[in-house]
Amino acid sequence: MTDLNIALIGCGRISGHHAQSINQVEGIRLAAVCDLVPERAADYATAHNVPAFESYHEMLAQVPEIDIVSINTPSGMHHEHALDMIERYGKHVVVEKPTFMRPSQLDAALAAANRAGVRVFPVFQNRYNKAVARVRSALQNRELGDIRTVSVRLRWCRPQRYYDMAPWRGTFSHDGGALTNQTIHHVDLLRHLGGDVRRVNAVMRTLGADIEVEDTTVATIEYATGAIATLESTTAARPDDFEASISLVCSEGLAQIGGIAVNELQIFSPDPGACAPSSEDFVGIKGHGAVYGYGHRAMYDDIVGALNNRVDYPVSAADCRDTLRLLHAFYCSDESGGWVDVDGDAESERLGRSDEAISAIYRTPL
């Protein structure tokens, strides 16, 4: 089997984790890297012995054997960059969280990919965590019984200097607030573990930084089953990150997943002995960000399998769309001041709105 060739566009911190994960997977090889800041691309090129480019147009012209492009640019550029890769160059794309800023952008990218005969692979790597997989299995096999309540708590610290690092940070057009950037994986796990959400009621505030987006959200959630949930998401905690957890109270027991990135099964009352073997130490991931975990490696293994028709990629288009719809429902609820149904095409007035001035900074001209 010939290795699939993949290129990275955007050489920020997360791209280093992608590169490391790619190097650990059979059947795929890093072929090139690209960033508008040449020094960033050069650092990755040196580390991985691949060519570096400032323009992805030049990269794809000079390295035409690239099969896949991993898009790790600012969130608000994902849609534009993905469409360019798909429509202009006919490449498969891997798209970092939150995939796209709006559900309609996902639909447009999927339609373009279908026309071009390529695939879109969303990144939700925390689904691969041992703790998450153990709890999902326990829910599916009825070991935990019926879900009664779910609780998400993210209490992290992002001071003003974090948002001042780049023009896209802290904007509705290209970043989103704590819910979209830091809590998106927990938003996804609300569905992945809890099932379909019927409606939400959210209140958002900006309490810890001078930014236009929310840094704090408190929400009530109602599942299709009748179960209820709460979400508390904030980056206004000081002086450090304290908690990022999801817990489920069920008819046959309680499960709680915590740690730096939902990597520790902290409570599992049906079988307390399952906690240790279902937990992982992400702190030992040196130089690539412990918060990212080990899931990218398993994800790339599934991408290779999917493109070679061995396995189905576990995040379907409908799955990704429903997570983005849930995300937007929280913002729509804050905008309307009441309960919002999740099943529908309503999109936030704010999240993912156009800002050409910021897009121009991160656009790669032909």
> Taking the domains of the chain in order of start, what are their residue ranges?
4-123, 127-280+316-341
Whether the bond between 64 and the residue before it is cis, its omega within 30 degrees of 0, is: no
Burial class (CB in 10 A: 0-12, 13-18, 19+), 366: exposed
Fold of 4-123: Rossmann fold (3.40.50)
Share of the chain above pLDDT 90, in %: 92
Give the closest residue to 145 by CA, choosing from 58, 301, 253: 253
Do residues 7 and 71 lie in contact, with contact meaning Cβ atoms separated by under 8 Å? no
Which pLDDT does position 123 carry in this prediction?
A: 98
Q: Residue 90: CB partners within 8 Å, gap ≥ 6?
A: 116, 117, 118
Backbone angles phi, psi at 242, to 5 degrees: -115, -40
Res. 272: pLDDT tops 90? yes
Give the closest residue to 303 by CA, choosing from 69, 145, 86, 101: 69
pLDDT tens digits for range 204-216: 999 999 999 999 9
Token digits for 151?
């609780």
How confident is the model over 53-71, as a mean pLDDT?
98
**CATH code 3.30.360.10 for 127-280+316-341:** yes
Res. 36: pLDDT tops 70? yes
Which pLDDT does position 331 carry in this prediction?
A: 98
Domains 4-123 and 127-280+316-341 share a fold: no
Give the C-alpha separation, 287 to 47, whole Å: 13
Instruction: Kindly report the average pLDDT of the chain as a whole number.
Output: 96
In the numeric block, the tokens 């429509």 are attached to 87
Dihedral angle sign, alpha carbons of residues 126, 130, 136, 137: positive
Which pLDDT does position 290 carry in this prediction?
A: 63
